[in-house]
A and B are shown apart, each in its own frame.
Chain A
Amino acid sequence: MEFDLIWQHRDLFLEGVWTTIWLIGTSLFIGGVMAIPLALAQAYKVRYLGRAAAAYSYAFRGTPLLVQLYLLYYGLAQFELVRESLFWPLLKRPEICAVIAFSMNSAAYVCEMIRGAILAIPKGEIEAAEAIGMSSVKVTRRIIIPSALRKALPAYSNEVIFMLHASVIASTITITDILGAGRTLNGMYYLAYEGLITAAILYLVIVFVVDRIFNRAEKRFLAHLVR
């Protein structure tokens, strides 16, 4: 193992860590925001919208993220309409494509989690809210959404880890994330392990930190459920 080379290129790996965190942070945020209305549409069985949300979620959960990413990055570029549009300066950038693909994918998974959490809310909580005169919008805003988000928390920590694992494919569209940094190092010096092992360790550390954060968050937000 050539540890010197890894240390010499620590900036490369730092950039990789930053890119990975930035990529998944942004995608999880956008995906989460998209997921709430999708889940509500499904749980409330809104006409057409509910079905559409279910189909969206199934299709994005039923196909590889790699296909989704390539469709956006390589696929969209073939259309003149896209290349001449206002969004082209954004859509031609791999980072933006990755964020869009990851967000849409994450939304599909998180939507499923929140839907499950909404359906698991005890009827009594909702009836009690109605009994004290809350309108249905108010019940949704004050009772259902906060309760569902809390209950989805343990499953959501898996989604964060899943997103982290999935984000490595960003390196296949020229983005220098953690794996990208490792592959660049290996490519520069014709190495077999160093770059990849460094990447593996960095990912392990991030997973460890994420698990710790979620353990704390669960203790805080789900304290009322601990027996």
Chain B
Amino acid sequence: MVELITEYGPMVLSGLGLTVALSLAAVALAVLFGIMGAALRLSSNPVSRGIGRSYTTLVRGIPDLVLMLLVFFGGQTLLNNLGNATGRWRYLEISPFMAGSITIGFIFGAYMTETFRGAFLSIPVGQIEAAKAIGMTPRQYMARIVWPQIVPLALPSFTNNWLVLLKTTALASILGLHDIMYNAHQAGRTSQEPFLFLLMAFFIYLGLTLVSDMALRALGRRYALR
């Protein structure tokens, strides 16, 4: 067993980089989508609010893997038909990494929308009114009053979303991305010891969860509102 681990273990571990990279790319997109979604939901324009609400409803209604496969297979065809129709490009390829990070980013953007919306709503209105009263422009009070408070307020919900996102990236293995999950499955197949290597993947993911849990909690203490 020790030999097997030294032989195939590095292969499983080599997926760690991809899992982390995919998660980080997806979470960056998710934050972006989340801020846009929250801005839409909080807008005074009913059309914007409607778009924001449809976004969150759609994501709650369609499972992640279905969306991922749609983007990966359908998006490819759609993109190339679009390119041919407009004559702008002939062939573009959506790599599994792009499909994975964009879809996961899009999905968690909907959850982040709620995160940022909730955080914004828990800032007392009086503070914004006070900022307006002393003549701050929206840009100024967003940058000076709202943003610095959003970080600590959004952190607990952000942590939750990040932990779920991290686990969701395992689905990207179905698109053929060589992440921890994919490599563990392959190592298990070649070595005929699937249990061993899947268990290894189990503990790597658990380790990732533990580490991010602790790190984000420490960050929460650092930014705690006093």
Question: In the complex, A133 Cα to B50 Cα: how many Å?
Answer: 55
B225 within 8 A of A: no
Smallest Cβ-Cβ distance to B209: which chain A residue: A62
Task: Name the contact of A192 in the complex, choosing from B64, B73, B173, B194 (C-beta under 8 A).
Answer: B73
Instruction: Give chain B interface residues in 174-226, CB to chain A under 8 Å.
Output: 174, 181, 184-185, 188, 192-195, 198-199, 201-202, 205-206, 209-210
For chain A, the count of residues having a C-beta within 8 Å of the partner chain is 39
Residue-wise, chain A 71-110 has the 8 Å CB interface mask toward B (1 for contact) of: 1001111110000000000000000000000000000000
Residues of B within 8 A of A65 (CB): 167
A119 within 8 A of B: no
Q: Are A183 and B61 in contact (CB under 8 A)?
A: no
B77 within 8 A of A: yes
Residues of B within 8 A of A193 (CB): 70, 73-74, 77
Q: Are A200 and B67 in contact (CB under 8 A)?
A: yes
Question: In the complex, A221 Cα to B170 Cα: how many Å?
Answer: 37
A23 within 8 A of B: no
A46 within 8 A of B: no
Residues of B within 8 A of A19 (CB): none
Q: Are B201 and A200 in contact (CB under 8 A)?
A: no
B135 within 8 A of A: no
A140 within 8 A of B: no
At the interface, is chain B mostly helix, strand, loop or mixed?
helix
Enumerate chain A interface residues (CB-CB to B < 8 A): 59, 62-68, 70-71, 74-79, 161, 164-169, 171-172, 179, 182-183, 186, 192-193, 196-197, 199-200, 203-204, 207-208
Task: Rank and list the top 9 A-B pairs by shortest CB-CB distance, nearest first.
Answer: A75-B195, A64-B170, A62-B209, A204-B61, A165-B63, A64-B167, A192-B77, A74-B194, A207-B61
Q: A70-B194, A179-B69 are in contact. List 17 more A-B contacts (CB 8 A).
A: A63-B209, A65-B167, A67-B184, A71-B195, A71-B198, A74-B185, A74-B198, A75-B199, A78-B194, A168-B66, A172-B174, A179-B65, A192-B76, A193-B74, A203-B61, A203-B66, A204-B58
17 contacts between A and B (CB under 8 A): A62-B167, A66-B170, A67-B198, A67-B201, A71-B195, A71-B198, A75-B195, A75-B199, A166-B63, A167-B63, A182-B66, A192-B78, A193-B73, A196-B66, A196-B70, A200-B62, A204-B58
